[in-house]
Structure 1
Amino acid sequence: MELDRRLLLAHCAVHALSIVAGLLVVVPMALNGSAFKGRCALFSSGYWRSEDRDELPTQPGTVPHLVVQQWGPPAACQCVTFVGIFTVLYGAAQGWRCLFYLHGRHDDTLFSSFLTVLLSVCVLFLSGGASVILSLGLVSWCDTVTNDNTQSFSCAESQSVPLYLDVDTSSFYTELSLAQVSLWAVTALWLTQSILAVLRLYHSHSQHISGPCLPREKELLLGHSPSDGSPSPLPTFIFVV
């Protein structure tokens, strides 16, 4: 198996994995956004407060509940969702191209390979930043829910604890944790794609340098015929007086 074919097969496999990982980012974030009514839980701030029976007549005695002072910026959740959607669409398009190249037994041009490297590196930094945002935002939300770990329950257990918010919090930790792990997997896959893209660029550059037209061009520059190796005749000038 030739080098370019191995690289194409590896790139196809990485694109297929990126589609799955991207979906595991988009679907949990969409479910969480629907459960939270379009609000972003990342970097949300709040505190716990106890209400007596007069304010909450349906609950016996004093009932503590969470008060959200400010919901997180929507851009944080939108950035995470964008990286997941772009990964799915790009993986599907590039996976189809890889299969087409495998069937046609050819690869990208030198310029196209360079653009692939540039795009992969840019999205690698974007996905890495989105992964950090999601991780830090989830930690901030968990600190709010557990009151800086002073509550008797953990962040994962708080899904089953009534927070008395106007949003559905029954599965927020499962959704955000799944999106977090998947997004870090997407970042690792983009790193792999960047490495493979650099290798394909190097291979395309090598093929371009040692192409079949180079010996013929060299012979023409030296003034030899490519067929018989005989020197080309000098041009004859006729002067008319």
Structure 2
Amino acid sequence: MELDRRLLLAHCAAHALSVAAGLLVVVPMALNGSAFKGRCALFSTGFWRTEEQAELTGQPGDVSHLVVQQWGPPAACQFATFVAIFTVLYGAAQGWRSLFYLHGRHDDTLFSSFLTVVLSVCVLFLSGGASVILSLGFYSWCDTVTNLNTRPYSCAEYQSVPLYLDVDTSSFYTELSLAQASLWGVTALWLAQSILAFLRLYHSHSQHITGPCGPREKELLLRHSPSESGSPTPPTSATPTIFV
């Protein structure tokens, strides 16, 4: 298989994987936003308070419950979701283009390959930033839930323990941890796509330099090459015809 076809096939596979990874970010974040009634759990702050159980459950005794002082900024959740949605749409479009180029046995132009490299690098930094924000926000929420790991349960176990909040916390750890792992996978795939885009640009540049100029130079050399005898044939002068 030719080099350009191998690069196109690898790029098409990377786009397909990025679509799947992007969906694994969008779906958990959407479910978490619905369960939390539009509130963002990332970077939320709060504390634990012990009150009489009758005020919360109607039964006698004391119970500890989580009090959220301030929910996280919505932009923290929206940014991760935006990067994932862009990955799904862009990956689907570029994957279709790669399949079209594979079927047509040609590749992008030199300028289009350069734009693909620039866009891939930009989205790589965006997805990396979104991954860092999601990870730090998730760790901050877990520190709030576990009270800096002083509570008897871990962050994963607290999705099965009642927090007595006005939101559904029965699957927050599964949703946020899946979104976190998938978003880091998206970042890794954008890194691979940036490398593949650069290799395609380098290959297109090499083809642009050597491809069109080679046959043209060969034609010029053949046109100006001497005859097989080794010396040029002198021009023959026309003999005048004398009419009597």
Equivalent residue runs for 1:98-177 within 5 Å: 98-177=98-177
| 1:238 alignment partner in structure 2 | none
Cα deviation for residue 52 of structure 1 reads 1.5
Cα deviation for residue 63 of structure 1 reads 1.4
Number of aligned pairs? 226
Q: TM-score, normalised by structure 1?
A: 0.89
Cα deviation for residue 51 of structure 1 reads 1.4
| 1:182 alignment partner in structure 2 | 182
Using the aligned pairs only, state the percent identity.
83
| 2:232 alignment partner in structure 1 | none
Report the residue type matching 2:40 in the other structure: C
1:69-104, Cα deviation, whole Å (9 max, x unpaired): 000011100110011101110110000000000000
1:15-55, Cα deviation, whole Å (9 max, x unpaired): 11111100000000000000001100000000001112453
Which stretches in structure 2 are left out of the alignment for 5+ residues? 227-244
* Whole-angstrom distance in 2 between the partners of 1:54 and 1:225: 97
* Whole-angstrom distance in 2 between the partners of 1:145 and 1:97: 46
Which of residues 220, 223, 228 is equivalent to 1:228? 223
Cα deviation for residue 214 of structure 1 reads 5.6
* Whole-angstrom distance in 2 between the partners of 1:186 and 1:230: 57
* Whole-angstrom distance in 2 between the partners of 1:20 and 1:195: 20
Report the residue type matching 1:11 in the other structure: H
Cα deviation for residue 230 of structure 1 reads 7.0
Cα deviation for residue 188 of structure 1 reads 0.4
1:180-219, Cα deviation, whole Å (9 max, x unpaired): 0000000000000000000000000001111225653x58
Q: In the alignment, does 2:24 pair up with 1:29?
A: no
3-state SS in 2 of match to 1:165: coil
* Whole-angstrom distance in 2 between the partners of 1:127 and 1:143: 24
| 2:65 alignment partner in structure 1 | 65
| 1:43 alignment partner in structure 2 | 43
Q: TM-score, normalised by structure 2?
A: 0.88
The 1:58–1:111 alpha-carbon spacing in structure 2 relative to 1, beyond 3 Å, is: same
* Whole-angstrom distance in 2 between the partners of 1:102 and 1:129: 33
Which stretches in structure 1 are left out of the alignment for 5+ residues? 232-241
The 1:117–1:225 alpha-carbon spacing in structure 2 relative to 1, beyond 3 Å, is: closer
The 1:225–1:209 alpha-carbon spacing in structure 2 relative to 1, beyond 3 Å, is: closer
* Whole-angstrom distance in 2 between the partners of 1:87 and 1:183: 10
Q: Does structure 1 conserve the Cα–Cα contact (< 8 Å) formed by 2:49 and 2:66?
A: yes
- Range moving further from structure 2, 137-146 or 51-60: 51-60
Instruction: Report the structure number with the largest CA radius of gyration.
Output: 2
